[in-house]
Amino acid sequence: QVQLVETGGGLVQPGGSLRLSCAASGRTISRYAMGWFRQAPGKDHEYEREFVAAVSWSGDNTLLADSVKGRFTISRVSAKDTIYLQMNSLKPEDTAVYFCAASPYSVRTMSSAYEYWGPGTQVTVSS
């Protein structure tokens, strides 16, 4: 089974930047689309995870949520099961646990389309 691990979370001031990384290990998922979801404080269910961004297995196709468009960028390392989420101009409402996920489908916005999930990394935007 594929294992996903997120890194790069932390505390940052509003307007600041942060880069999250997600590395996959185990069985190859080179044909999987990968994405980022976030779960705001106080929301305990998986279906409450909000779509943030996704990238196709080739890295050529990306999709961003309207709430982060223009501020966040998702990318995938060529021939590597690693993705990044560059977050700029961070806002307090970006505070959440960010999850990396992998999907056997093309880029999707629904969490149910993703088969594997990382444990999450906390991002806190506060002054």
Closest of 104, 67, 100, 88 to residue 13, by C-alpha: 88
115 and 24 Cβ atoms separated by less than 8 Å: no
- Name the band, by pLDDT with cuts 50, 70 and 90, for residue 22: very high
Looking at residue 14, its pLDDT comes to: 98
Local structure of residue 47 (DSSP, 8 states): G
Phi (first) and psi of residue 71, to 5 degrees: -120, -35
Measured CA to CA, the distance from residue 84 to residue 57 in angstroms comes to 13
Looking at residue 67, its pLDDT comes to: 97
Looking at residue 80, its pLDDT comes to: 67
34 pLDDT exceeds 80? yes
28 pLDDT exceeds 80? no
Looking at residue 58, its pLDDT comes to: 84
List, for residues 97-124, the tens digit of each pLDDT value.
999 999 988 899 999 999 999 999 999 9
Residues in a beta bridge with 55: 34, 62
Measured CA to CA, the distance from residue 81 to residue 32 in angstroms comes to 9
Residue 104 belongs to what H/E stretch? Answer: none
Contacts for 74 with CB less than 8 Å, ≥ 6 apart: 35, 36, 53, 54, 55, 62, 64, 83, 84, 85, 86
37 and 52 Cβ atoms separated by less than 8 Å: yes
50 and 65 Cβ atoms separated by less than 8 Å: yes
Residues in the chain: 127
- Name the band, by pLDDT with cuts 50, 70 and 90, for residue 29: low
And the tokens for 78? 């060529």
List, for residues 39-89, the tens digit of each pLDDT value.
999 888 878 899 999 999 888 899 999 999 999 999 988 666 789 999 999
The residue with greater pLDDT, 68 or 24, is: 68
